[in-house]
Amino acid sequence: MDGHLSQVSQDDWIARAKTVLPAGGFGNFDPNIIIREGKGSRVWDENGKEYIDYLIGSGPMLLGHGHPEVLDATREQLDKGMTFFATNARGIELAEEIVRSVPCAEQVRFVSSGGEADMYAIRLARAFTGRDKIMKFEGGYHGMSAEAQMSLAPAKLVNFPQAVPDSAGIPESVRAEMLIAPFNDIDFARSLLAEHGHEIAGIIVEPLQRLIPPAPGFLEFLREECDRLGIVLIFDEVVTGYRFSYGGAQELYGVTPDLCSLGKIIGGGFPLAATAGRADIMAHFDKAIVGADGFLMQLGTLSGNPVAAVAGLKTMEILRRDGAYERLRHVGQTLMDAFSAHLNEAGHAHRIVGDQTLFDVVFTDRDVRDYRDVHGADMAKNIRFNTLLRERGIFKPMGKTYPSLAITDADIDQTIEAIAYAAKHLT
């Protein structure tokens, strides 16, 4: 990697993007930085500036960019074909490995994005129960469907369980089918279920909501109530699947949902996701079993793409090797300790929130248990802190730090130096 400058400057690319892309970007990340390439733990922008990458594609590059074994596996598949629409053996193998490793997974249906996987999980819950309402938690992210865009990041904090649409273009009728609860509040959830449990098809929850860990007993309570009321429990594990542990958050926390959504890591950096779960619920994808009235149609041109499946299989093989998760958690804990030590030394009130494999700084003097605790934090200070880190070559998103197995001890040292600089100069 020579870090050479592009013949077209980053400013030129930004100007070109503004003419052809709404808001000048893809809608995912700051459009004022254009990434040219990535290798291992590093990325380079179009001006040749080098960064240690803690965004890692928003999570899927757990092994880092361009892992040689993943590249070799995908090159071999490329010679055999890029996509078929028809079922292929590599996709079957990937489904078999998911069933072996994820506690709730008895069957798997592939899609191309985590948002699709969540959408189909919600639809499965409705098909299986014959009910319409869905319960979700304020601040929980479940993709871009109309249901998911209810109370994701509401600026207006209304009374629960009222839903607040986060996007234009969503019919008012969707709001009536969504019940919103505060994360980690067992008492409120109990009262909501007592009133509406017989109407609720599914409860969808991130086991770790964005960064916020579940309170002791919270996930267990949801499992018990869903069993009691005949509600489908859905874990959104698009982020936590194969990151928290090989069996995901449901393995780590010891609570098994009825369905889960998976994405990011199972595609090894390529577009691939899945809905997985109990066979009797997944049967709604099979018209021969459930009949025309119970059939849930699902089609996707790239679902089960063989190149993505091969990349996912090789990534998962590497994650099964001795020490992989121990190393990932060591990197994360070292960085969490560094953030805390330097921000404390500089006198900045904060909380380090999350898991060793996925965490960030929240600038607040109170404990963080739900979305409203994050919403009340000093977001402007967070922006300034991230800007200072980027100046020192640390590439990370607002609100998340994704460690990867590509991070070296030298990367850690450089990152800690950047943290110390940012904490000292933060105002």
Please answer whether residues 374 and 384 qualify as being in contact, where contact means their C-beta atoms are separated by less than 8 angstroms: no
- Count CB atoms within 10 A of the CB of residue 145: 17
Please answer whether residues 380 and 37 qualify as being in contact, where contact means their C-beta atoms are separated by less than 8 angstroms: no
Alpha helices in 323-408 (DSSP H): 324-345, 371-375, 379-391
> What would the DSSP string read from start to end of 186-247?
HHHHHHHHHHHGGGEEEEEE-SSBTTBPPPTTHHHHHHHHHHHHTPEEEEE-TTTBTTTBTT
Residue 39, CA distances (Å) to 42, 51, 61, 106, 412 in order:
5, 11, 11, 36, 16
Catalytic residues: 141, 236, 264
Q: Rg of the Cα trace of the chain? A: 22
Question: Minimal CA–CA distance to 113: which of 343, 303, 254, 382?
Answer: 303
Please answer whether residues 10 and 44 qualify as being in contact, where contact means their C-beta atoms are separated by less than 8 angstroms: no
Distance from the Cα of residue 121 to its chain's centroid = 15
CA dihedral (70, 72, 77, 81) positive or negative: positive
Which phi-psi region, left, alpha or beta, contains residue 29 (left: φ > 0; alpha: ψ -120 to 50)? beta
